[in-house]
Structure 1
Amino acid sequence: MSRILSHLHPQPEDQILKLTALFRDDPRPVKLDLGVGVYRNAAGQTPVMRAVKAAEKQLWQDETSKSYTSLAGDPGFHKVMRDLVLGDAVDHTRVAAAATVGGTGALSIALDLVKRAAPGATVWVSDPTWPNHVPIIGKCGLASNVYRYFDAENRAVNFSAMMEDLARVAPGDVVLLHGCCHNPTGANLTLPEWQEVARLLTQTGALPLIDLAYQGFGDGLEEDAAATRLVAAACPDTLIAASCSKNFGIYRERTGIVLAVTPDAAAQGVVQGNLAALNRLTYSFPPDHGARLVTMVLESPALRADWQAELEDIRTSMLGLRRQLADELRARTGSDRFGFLAQHRGMFSRLGAKPEQVARLRDEHGIYMVGDSRMNIAGLSPATVPALATAIAACGI
């Protein structure tokens, strides 16, 4: 009798999902979930964006077939996302693309492509990085290493240490970079620093892989794409994994794209064929519904204008929450040590609390955040910021 499945080992529980379950089961009427990385408005809801809702209604009326598109997804989606992410930074004939199952799928396909091209490559990730990065790298059969990135004491990028580590990257290795709104720290490189990184990658012969999950959540759509465009223009080849979950609010539609900037048009054809083949092996044809909505929004001047206006409201609301929290903490602690919150960008920041202080926030105040004190700024509202600030001060953080 076969007992193959009995050889499987239990998998570690996802800490964020565990936190979500603890929050759900907490009977206290006043509690705050700052763990899961989902945008919420002041009412605590994750709304369907107006332009997306309008596009869905139009699609329901006009769509005549649910047949497959192509192995790499719809070319119209490729075009609008290439333009959104890269603009005119590179010749479009050099860019291969494939629609994927979310930004996570884009990372997986990009790393599978690396595995095909350079199976001995090491993928370097920032310390810290998104918790799923290293497991995905391992799943794709690649080795990983870390480069220093965040100075936990100063809550800022340790750029000199980062550059020192990246100088040790071997030719043909991959450097995974956060295009904007670094997760989990919220601390980003400046454009001059990005220029130095691009120059170093070109010198070492390393391949940049840019995870662009939050375009539009930091300093604006164009501003958040500037670093990605800079690197793509400077390096002979670049991989980009872009997600539509946050900026279009279509989390459950799992919509993403992998873009590969190649040295020339001839290489583009080869890479495009490999991306299509990897999609075929992974899930045959990629899902189209979310990609179709994104395409419709970006192709329609009216829908695009409404989408950009709502996205800008989301972005500025998070900036407002950051400033409010920094101000409230200054008032309660008499210190400017939390000023970094107003300087960071995106959904996340690391508070700098010890695990036992994070536990106190949860147990004594009903405030849930990840054990390393990463908190989701978008889980706050103007009404809940004062309570958070009071709890942080009370826990001696």
Structure 2
Amino acid sequence: MFETLTPPPADKIIELMAQFRADPREDKIDLGVGVYKDPEGRTPVMRAVRTAATRVWEAETTKAYVGLAGDAAFNAAMAKLVLGEAHDPARTASVATPGGTGAIRIAAELIRNTAPGATVWMSDPTWPNHPAILKYLDIPQTSYRYFDTTTGEVDFDAMMADLAGVQRGDVVLLHGCCHNPTGANLTADQWLAVADLLGDKGALAWIDIAYQGFGDGLEADAFGTRLLAKQLPEVLIAASCSKNFGVYRERAGVLMALSAKGTDRDVVQGNLNTLNRVNYSFPPDHGARLVSTVLDSDDLRADWAAELEDVRNSMLGLRTQLAEELRRLTNSDCYDFIARHRGMFSRLGLTPEQVATLRKEHGIYMVGDSRINIAGLNAQSVPVLARAIAALDG
């Protein structure tokens, strides 16, 4: 049987990681991997999470299964964090999942089961796992224009022109904040326009929110998600705890399905439970328990929010420093968009050949489309990157 297998396509980011590790240069810079790093290049355990781990360990008396939907306290805490005042328990079914990727997968299967003819619309570009999962599940997909590589901003007119082709029952996948891979976000007015369009079209909004707190703050980053939750009858929300809680390896995520009033919420919940069951039976609990312990403890939540704000401001500072260095070295404002972007990522607009030059001549590693992880920089490496970029046109 196995002799019929063929090698799968290489994962570009995993391949880039291997190249970086094999590079003997001590001054090499890794801007490819999408994890937060502090100025020393570490991905630290957050203070509140470390304290929560101690509390969970001391209080835990069993490792028995929790339930198909995961821990109810975690699901409720995440719904409140993401939705705020838009949270309506009577409309909200939710399941814990193995990270945000697990939430995306369960959401995709729910779409396939309930609306097999629906087309999922995704931004161009988007996180590569979005189209990969949809393709694997044989779900129809298409894209809408999103990013203007010339300006480094959202091409909103093109986006809305493409979304005018959405059909009733189709699904539109949106990044809740800190767009991956571009870092370019919708404004409040643009979110309002998108909400109106989806409502008029009768389309389902599907939101991937993986970086809440990394952009403009916990509340501001949830604006678009909360708006759609209030304005539209049905919404799918896939949320990840990997980044804003730093629990990457614990795989803590949640999928929320908001149904129209009058719909039997318990039927929706039962379908989510069944999808969990046939995929991995019971979702992992440890990371979810750490998150709910933080969110449900006043002292830990305050400390977590403060540290998250430090993380956010650190990335904003790096963005500003890089934009200013590039403006000085190039005598141009063409890279000013970096300071306006939010989250860990920005797409610089470099060609694959320029990206290869940076890697070969300067030991600077980024994804081939010139997406960089801002958190891979520090105050000392920003000038190095800026000089290398400026030299490309020299």
Indicate yes or no: 2:357 matched with 1:360: yes
User: Would the aligned equivalents of 1:182 and 1:188 in 2 still touch at CA under 8 Å?
Assistant: yes
Matched pairs, number? 394
Q: Which amino acid aligns with 1:286?
A: P
Indicate yes or no: 2:157 matched with 1:147: no
Partner Cα separation in structure 2 for residue 60 and residue 98 of structure 1: 23
1:194 aligns with 191
1:47 aligns with 44
Q: What SS does the corresponding residue of 1:100 show, helix, strand or coil? A: strand
Correspondence for 1:112 among 109, 113, 126: 109
2:320 aligns with 323
Q: Where do residues 48-127 of structure 1 align in structure 2 (5 Å cutoff)?
A: 48-127=45-124
Correspondence for 1:307 among 301, 304, 316: 304
CA offsets 1:177-212 (integer angstroms, 9 cap, x no match): 000000000000001100100110011111010000
1:132 aligns with 129
Displacement, 1:90? 4.1
Indicate yes or no: 2:264 matched with 1:264: no
Partner Cα separation in structure 1 for residue 205 and residue 137 of structure 2: 17
The normalised TM-score by structure 1 is 0.98
Q: Which amino acid aligns with 1:62?
A: A
Correspondence for 2:26 among 6, 20, 29: 29
Q: What SS does the corresponding residue of 1:308 show, helix, strand or coil? A: helix
Displacement, 1:265? 5.8
2:212 aligns with 215
Displacement, 1:372? 0.4
Q: What SS does the corresponding residue of 2:86 show, helix, strand or coil? A: coil
Q: What SS does the corresponding residue of 1:108 show, helix, strand or coil? A: helix
Q: What SS does the corresponding residue of 1:210 show, helix, strand or coil? A: strand
CA offsets 1:278-302 (integer angstroms, 9 cap, x no match): 0000000000000000000000000
Partner Cα separation in structure 1 for residue 333 and residue 265 of structure 2: 50
Indicate yes or no: 2:35 matched with 1:38: yes
CA offsets 1:220-279 (integer angstroms, 9 cap, x no match): 000001110001111110000000000000000011000011002643111100000000
User: Would the aligned equivalents of 2:80 and 2:87 in 1 still touch at CA under 8 Å?
Assistant: no
Q: What SS does the corresponding residue of 2:141 show, helix, strand or coil? A: strand
Where structure 1 has 5 or more consecutive residues not aligned to the other structure, the ranges are: none
Q: What SS does the corresponding residue of 1:246 show, helix, strand or coil? A: coil
Q: What SS does the corresponding residue of 2:143 show, helix, strand or coil? A: strand
Q: What SS does the corresponding residue of 2:222 show, helix, strand or coil? A: helix
Q: Which amino acid aligns with 2:387?
A: T
Partner Cα separation in structure 1 for residue 71 and residue 138 of structure 2: 29
Displacement, 1:49? 0.2
Partner Cα separation in structure 2 for residue 122 and residue 356 of structure 1: 34
Indicate yes or no: 2:376 matched with 1:379: yes
User: Would the aligned equivalents of 1:176 and 1:211 in 2 still touch at CA under 8 Å?
Assistant: yes
Summarize the Cα distance change of 1:390–1:49 in structure 2 as closer, same or farther, 3 Å threshold: same
Q: Which amino acid aligns with 1:367?
A: I
User: Would the aligned equivalents of 1:214 and 1:246 in 2 still touch at CA under 8 Å?
Assistant: yes
1:235 aligns with 232
Displacement, 1:377? 0.2
Q: Please say which of residues 258-267 and 299-308 is displaced more in the overlay.
A: 258-267
Q: Which amino acid aligns with 2:287?
A: G
Q: Which consecutive segments of 4 or more residues in structure 1 shift more than 4 A?
A: none
Displacement, 1:88? 1.4
User: Would the aligned equivalents of 2:99 and 2:241 in 1 still touch at CA under 8 Å?
Assistant: yes
User: Would the aligned equivalents of 1:80 and 1:295 in 2 still touch at CA under 8 Å?
Assistant: yes
The normalised TM-score by structure 2 is 0.99
CA offsets 1:162-184 (integer angstroms, 9 cap, x no match): 01111101111110000000000
Summarize the Cα distance change of 1:12–1:190 in structure 2 as closer, same or farther, 3 Å threshold: same
User: Would the aligned equivalents of 2:348 and 2:372 in 1 still touch at CA under 8 Å?
Assistant: yes
Q: Which amino acid aligns with 2:358?
A: L
Q: Which amino acid aligns with 2:185?
A: N
Indicate yes or no: 2:270 matched with 1:281: no
Indicate yes or no: 2:219 matched with 1:183: no
User: Would the aligned equivalents of 1:108 and 1:140 in 2 still touch at CA under 8 Å?
Assistant: no
Task: Please report the RMSD computed on the Cα atoms of aligned residues, expressed in angstroms.
Answer: 0.9
* Identity between Structure 1 and Structure 2 (%): 62
Partner Cα separation in structure 1 for residue 204 and residue 4 of structure 2: 37
Q: Which amino acid aligns with 1:253?
A: E
Q: What SS does the corresponding residue of 1:240 show, helix, strand or coil? A: strand
Partner Cα separation in structure 2 for residue 244 and residue 126 of structure 1: 22
Displacement, 1:143? 1.1
1:341 aligns with 338
Partner Cα separation in structure 1 for residue 311 and residue 292 of structure 2: 21
Q: What SS does the corresponding residue of 1:92 show, helix, strand or coil? A: coil
Partner Cα separation in structure 2 for residue 181 and residue 267 of structure 1: 33
